Amino acid sequence: MIRLRHTLIVVVIAATAYSLPASAQNDNQNTLDSFLRELPVEMHGFYEIRSGYRLRKDKYEKDMSVMETRLQVDLASSLDWADLKVKGDVIGDMVTEQADFDLREANIFARPTDFMDIKVGRQILTWGTGDLLFINDLFPKDWQSFFIGRDTEYLKAPSDAAKVSLFSDFVNLDIVYTPQFDLDRFISGERISYWNSNLGRLAGRDAIQGTNKPNRWFRDDEIAARLYKNINNYELAFYGYRGYWKSPGGQNAARNQAIFPDLNVYGASIRGAVGKGIGNFEFGYYESDDDQSGKNPLVNNSELRFLAGYTQEIGRDFTAGFQYYVEHMLDYGQHKDSMPVGLDRDRNRHVATVRLTKLLMNQNLRCSLFTYYSPSDKDVYMRPNLNYKATDSLALEAGANIFFGDYPSTFFSQFQNNTNIYVALRYSF
Amino acid sequence: MTKYVATALILFVLTLPGLAAEPNSAPEAKSPSLDIPDVNTIVNKANLVAYYQGEDGKAKVTMTITNKQGQKREREFIILRKDVNDGGDQKYFIYFQRPADVRRMVYMVHKHTELQKDDDRWLYLPALDLVKRVAAGDKRTSFVGSDFLYEDVSGRSLAEDTHELIETTDDLFVIKNVPKKADSVEFSYYNVSIDRKTYVPMKMDYFDKEGKLYRIIESKKIEVIQEFPTVVISEVRDLKTGSKTEMEFGNVKYNINLNEEIFTERYLRQPPREATR
């Protein structure tokens, strides 16, 4: 907390320093001016109010799904040898009844040679070809923010990592080293009710999942790599990851804790023009290293994951995207034998997604609908959203997160009672 | 490289007579019918002047969109351009600075002039560190919500239209352009008035399917920058919606020797100094 407060003070001082030159009149100000020229700091950000409610009674959670004010301050400074960036959100959260500070980025970027880029510090990282589906992107996600209707930006949680990128005419390589495991901000019951298989019922704030996460510096670390090349604008990539299941991938039955077993992922993707649109294909082999044989019922089995997608403009300012995604469990026989009857999973989980985006009113109104549908789980998750830019700085937003399904325990269906609508107002500066 | 040098030389030579002729243009005007180039030469030269000056270039663009009610919206971005070949393929890197909600976004285009080949387009969203591939779209849709269309910004392939010289005045060539595929566009034809000396397109009048004028693009201010006549203020008016957009090009520089690598994923994720300063 003390560290957070210091960061805040730095932010405030820097913000004040930034606003001073406007009134620069005397020598002192000129000195400050020349200092600022040496260290030019750009400040931007937004102020936002967001409010959302559950549409169904959820006895494990509050009726408010999201109720918060948020100030994001983004400070950037470009020096001759490096770029510095600090971006953080101050949040007044009425659901948790807490004030919070979320440091989104605090990093230094340098281009030391023609063939190398380095970024060190807290940063948002993304790669892979899926649209709101991730196979080889094993950087932390914030599923909680995603489901309660925060801006999509918050689906990506920050990593504390070093990214080194090497470039050549033949091939490019990114290596991301995270010295201490960065887990997902997963569904724990704190704000979203979920199916608790131990209790055999839905649960929420009455049964917030305890976790035991690997957290030793430089020992419980993660490494992710991407080898990629652009061939005639077909983007080909190979990926490797060594770390942990990012959301709980198993249980410690004795302590009733969710655990994050070892995970290695190897995959590839390709993306490029197909017909009038963009096609992509991606796959990954998830090697659950703590349960190679699949015999342990308390640790996720290994999986193969596939994804194929296609996006095309189907009318003026109207785009449609379609994806098909499969998770295929390996060692399924072992899984079936090891699980009590009724608790075993299907061998394959299929998910289809459709994204429709239409721009209206000189592109100031964006209407979009993203739908996940799983034919194997028989459940659906829909994300309708309207975003209207009233002026260059003021945006109004309304949307919903709608879950339904046939069974209480499947991936999206378990969140049925969290179905919510929200509105937001954002002033950017 | 020699091709670029040759191109630069050609453009240099092209622009010189125009400049040199300025003081004594009056006597020349007496015989306008003399040495009128054929229509293809005119449209080719005008296309090069409008979109292919130098081998590369940079500008800071400020767009002001004013709707019928007089409400204004602004867009500000740095645009970097590199020609793959003159009159042909090009690469664009557009780094947004305003409004605040799109700041640091990058839009990158590898433009292809072959008729059957769509442009390759990318969008980088910094808050998500996401490199998005954008599906090829109708080029006659609005560019960033302004009255300019994608095609106005990056150029319309000459092969899409037939061209006819319909009028020659003392100062201008007027070319009528009729689309070969009428159903692919919203206009029935458009006329371009091209400056006879500089080959800068000064005005474009678009006529709808009923033959009524509905859209006008005008070059409001021309400056000679590094020998290249350059439109520094351009305005489009949509007579149907009553909306207009002014586009101002500041800090224009040509032949800045942009690295080919700028137009790749590396710089999408972290823009080059050329785009941020």
Indicate whether A168 and A26 sit together in one domain: no
Q: What is the pLDDT of residue B25?
A: 40
What is each CA distance from A281 to A153, A233, A347, A371, in whole angstroms? 24, 15, 21, 19
- Rounded to whole angstroms, the Cα distance separating A229 from B265 reads 10
- Rounded to whole angstroms, the Cα distance separating A160 from B256 reads 37
Closest to B75 (Cα-Cα) out of B192, B215, B248, B240 = B248
Mean local confidence (pLDDT), B83-88: 91
What is each CA distance from B94 to B59, B190, B268, in whole angstroms? 10, 28, 10
H or E, element range at A193: none
CATH of the domain at A307: 2.40.160.10
pLDDT per residue as tens digits for the range B152-205: 988 888 999 999 999 999 999 999 999 999 998 999 999 999 999 999 999 999
* Reported confidence tier of residue B277, pLDDT bands at 50, 70, 90: confident
Indicate whether A254 and A344 sit together in one domain: yes
Contact B270 A46 (CB under 8 A): no
3-state secondary structure of A154: helix
Indicate whether A157 and A239 sit together in one domain: yes
Q: Above 80 in pLDDT, residue B96?
A: yes
Closest to A167 (Cα-Cα) out of A241, A227, A234 = A227
Distance from CA of B164 to the nearest CA of A (A): 30
CB A403 within 8 A of CB A413: yes
Closest to B59 (Cα-Cα) out of B234, B215, B270 = B234
* Residues of chain A predicted below pLDDT 70: 1-39, 342
The DSSP-derived string for A291-308 is: GTTS--TTBPPPEEEEEE
Indicate whether A74 and A1 sit together in one domain: no
* Gyration radius from chain B CA atoms: 19
Domain B2-276 belongs in CATH node 2.50.20.10:
yes
Q: Tell me, yes or no, if A392 comes closer than 8 A to chain B by beta carbon.
A: yes
DSSP state of A7: H
- Rounded to whole angstroms, the Cα distance separating A417 from B207 reads 56
Indicate whether A142 and A6 sit together in one domain: no
* Reported confidence tier of residue B94, pLDDT bands at 50, 70, 90: very high
Searching chain A, which residue's CA lies closest to the CA of residue B148? A362
φ, ψ (nearest 5 deg) of residue B106: -125, 135
Please identify among residues 299-338 of chain A the ones whose CB lies closer than 8 Å to any CB of chain B. 311-313, 316-317, 319
What does the angle CA A10 – CA A14 – CA A18 come to, to the nearest 5 degrees? 170
Q: What is the pLDDT of residue A399?
A: 98
The ranges assigned to domains in chain B are 2-276
Indicate whether A78 and A186 sit together in one domain: yes
Neighbours of B277 (CB within 10 A): 8
Indicate whether A267 and A367 sit together in one domain: yes
- Rounded to whole angstroms, the Cα distance separating B193 from B165 reads 10
Mean local confidence (pLDDT), B54-67: 96
Q: What is the pLDDT of residue B117?
A: 87
What was the ipTM of the complex prediction? 0.89
Contact B264 A389 (CB under 8 A): no
Indicate whether A401 and A299 sit together in one domain: yes
Q: Tell me, yes or no, if A126 comes closer than 8 A to chain B by beta carbon.
A: yes
Indicate whether A345 and A420 sit together in one domain: yes
- Which token pair is B71? 């409400």
Cβ contacts of A317 within 8 Å, gap of 6 or more = A358, A359, A360, A363, B141, B142
CB A42 within 8 A of CB A75: yes
pLDDT per residue as tens digits for the range A192-231: 999 998 888 999 999 998 888 999 999 999 999 999 999 9
Searching chain B, which residue's CA lies closest to the CA of residue A140? B128
Q: Above 60 in pLDDT, residue B2?
A: no
B101 interaction partners in chain A (CB closer than 8 Å): 46, 389, 393, 395, 426, 428
B127 interaction partners in chain A (CB closer than 8 Å): 124, 153, 156
Indicate whether A115 and A2 sit together in one domain: no
- Rounded to whole angstroms, the Cα distance separating B126 from B106 reads 8
Q: Tell me, yes or no, if A125 comes closer than 8 A to chain B by beta carbon.
A: yes
Q: Tell me, yes or no, if A339 comes closer than 8 A to chain B by beta carbon.
A: no
pLDDT per residue as tens digits for the range A364-413: 999 999 999 999 999 999 999 999 999 999 999 999 999 999 999 999 99
- Residue numbers of the domain that contains A29: 1-39
- Rounded to whole angstroms, the Cα distance separating B160 from B154 reads 14
CB A127 within 8 A of CB A136: yes
What residue ranges in B171-277 does DSSP mark as E strands?
A: 172-179, 189-195, 201-207, 213-225, 228-238, 243-254
- Rounded to whole angstroms, the Cα distance separating A148 from A142 reads 11
Which among A124, A167, A392 is the nearest to B74, CB-wise?
Answer: A392
Q: Tell me, yes or no, if A368 comes closer than 8 A to chain B by beta carbon.
A: no
Indicate whether A287 and A315 sit together in one domain: yes
φ, ψ (nearest 5 deg) of residue A17: -60, -40
- Rounded to whole angstroms, the Cα distance separating B107 from A217 reads 38
Indicate whether A99 and A27 sit together in one domain: no
**B99 prior amide bond cis, ω within 30:** yes
What is each CA distance from A411 to A194, A374, A381, B155, in whole angstroms? 9, 9, 10, 48
- Which token pair is A242? 């060594």
- Rounded to whole angstroms, the Cα distance separating A384 from A372 reads 12
Number of domains in chain A: 2
Q: What is the pLDDT of residue B66?
A: 97
What's the gap between Cα A65 and its chain centre?
19
What does the angle CA A89 – CA A160 – CA A98 come to, to the nearest 5 degrees? 35
Q: Tell me, yes or no, if A232 comes closer than 8 A to chain B by beta carbon.
A: no
